[in-house]
Amino acid sequence: MDERILKWLYDIKFALDEIELYFEGKEKNFAEYQKNIMLKRAIERDLEIIGEAVSRILKKDETFEKEISDSKAIIGLRNQVIHAYDSISDENIWSIIINHIPKLKREINKLIEENKS
């Protein structure tokens, strides 16, 4: 695997780990998330990093589109967070945290594990 792709996979992994750390020792609670502007912005930043890294991976090697589920949607979310920040809904981001982050984390960890030197 190209070293840059592996580096970007690690960038995704670290951003996913960071999102999990925000909730460490606490129950994930949507109402609390909605009230915490700092938490929301931190998660949005990590989602930007994830989306940018996925974009770079696909530009380097399009075959990863099959390896990373919803890769185009991940990039689209990154673009929305950056360019259409005023249309981001808390419900949408929360759904991503609860429903999509765990699957993405499994896929990224598998890709890293398969390609460690």
- What pLDDT digit, counting tens, does each position of 73-116 carry? 999 999 999 898 788 899 999 999 999 999 999 999 999 999 87
Identify whether the C-beta of residue 73 lies closer than 8 Å to the C-beta of residue 81: no
Residue ranges of domains in the chain:
3-114
**Burial (CB count <10 Å: 0-12, 13-18, 19+), residue 81:** buried
**Catalytic residue annotation:** 78, 83
Q: In this model, does residue 117 exceed pLDDT 70?
A: no
Q: What is the pLDDT of residues 42-54, one digit of tens each?
A: 999 999 999 999 9
Q: Are 90 and 31 in contact (CB under 8 A)?
A: no
